[in-house]
Amino acid sequence: MDTSKIIDEYDRYRNSTLNMQASENVLSPNARKALSSDMASRYSLNMGKYNAYGGTRYFDQILDILKNNTNKLFDCRYSDPRPLSGHVAAEISLLAILGDNRNVMAVSEEDGGYPGYSENHLGRVLGYKFHKAPYSNFDLDYEELEGSIEKNNIGTLILGQSMFIKPYDMKRVNEICKKYGTRILYDASHVMGLLAGGVFQPDALRYSDLVYGSTHKTFFGPQGGIIITDNEGIYNTIEDNTIFNTMDNINLSRIASLSVAVEEMLKFGKDYAGKVVRNTEKLGGNLLEKGFGLVHGSEHSKTHQILIDEEYLKDKGFDYLSFSEELEKNRIIIDRFGRIGTQEITRWGISDMESISDAISGICNRLNKIEEINNLISEKMLKFW
């Protein structure tokens, strides 16, 4: 079978499933069309006075519109949509922020943080020392935080997580960091769409130096990254520091697609994000009612994610991998770390969390729920575009 045929098969397969992977979303037809436009094979490199490449007049216009709309959406002064991914946005941001102080604190992987910040990854690449943020009960341990920042002379604190269900007390973090001159970076990769809709951590930017993250998890964009800030100095450093350091081409079609997504967010972001959070609450509540095990704190999830209790699965004879495989046999797709996300099904217009919870908990009890899932899938109708 040649690749084009496999792509058709792939699309058919994915259309016949319910994707509940917490780090993914679906693109609108307009955002998708942008990705396969002629821009997909072009360059653009703004040199200030002129563009180093010809033929870019329409693209330059799109980039301008995108930046203006992004500033409006997040109520910020500056934005940079060039990062090729959330990880690259983190790298660019850290390069701009890290000075002589190379002590960086972030939530560790064991606590649901992003593995990329550890000593083996960005710590090694950028030459900083990684410190684990004090953390308990799915939140920062604020009592410990101040002592740890002082003792370890932390220059940069990175907030935000991959397993992310609770907002932080940003005002308190900011007060502590101000005392020690510690910079605050907020990695909103998972919750960018919820931030844009104003339903989660609305004070993220107000109490940090910059916010960055992926554009494709709860946000409506193609895979990519974005940085937003109110700090002119940091923005200028990022402007100057990015090309030929962390990347060269900026993927024009991705940027055009992101621009479509930001327009969709401006129109529908509030409605969408509110529904995502309500669906998560309902799904978590319904699952708990059925006796399904969620990690402590999941009933209070304020995001798009709930986290499955591994011990509960073990009692039922599953682990994260085998349960994900069992769900997939019934056409529900989740990852293999126990996260379930509601953002994509919300975009597909699905609000029947009772049926989904019944299916998930039933599958965990070895029942076949394919008919129930097929009924839900047949109702998929893309919203918010």
Ligand X SMILES: *Cc1c(COP(=O)(O)O)cnc(C)c1O
Residues that bind ligand X (CB under 6 A): 23, 85-87, 90, 114, 116, 160-162, 187, 189-190, 214, 225
Quote the least distance from Cβ 147 to ligand X, whole Å: 25
- Taking the least distance from each CB to ligand X, the nearer of 161 and 298 is 161
- Taking the least distance from each CB to ligand X, the nearer of 24 and 146 is 24
Query: Burial letters for 229-268: b for 16+ Cβ neighbours within 10 Å, e otherwise?
Result: bbbeebbebbeeebbeebbeebbbbbbbbbbbbbbbbeeb
- Taking the least distance from each CB to ligand X, the nearer of 73 and 94 is 94
- Taking the least distance from each CB to ligand X, the nearer of 56 and 303 is 303
Rounded Cα distance between 174 and 16, Å, is 46
Rounded Cα distance between 65 and 232, Å, is 19
Of the candidates 344, 368, 374, 347, the residue with the CA atom closest to the CA atom of residue 16: 374
Quote the least distance from Cβ 340 to ligand X, whole Å: 15
Quote the least distance from Cβ 343 to ligand X, whole Å: 13
Among all residues, whose Cβ is closest to ligand X? 86
**Residue indicated by tokens 């024009």:** 252
Quote the least distance from Cβ 239 to ligand X, whole Å: 21
- Taking the least distance from each CB to ligand X, the nearer of 162 and 324 is 162
Query: What are the C-alpha distances in Å from 239 to residues 82, 181, 244, 246, 360?
Result: 10, 24, 12, 12, 46
Rounded Cα distance between 367 and 361, Å, is 9
- Taking the least distance from each CB to ligand X, the nearer of 339 and 369 is 339
Rounded Cα distance between 70 and 53, Å, is 25
Quote the least distance from Cβ 23 to ligand X, whole Å: 6
Quote the least distance from Cβ 130 to ligand X, whole Å: 14
Structural contact between residues 348 and 27, judged by C-beta atoms closer than 8 angstroms: no
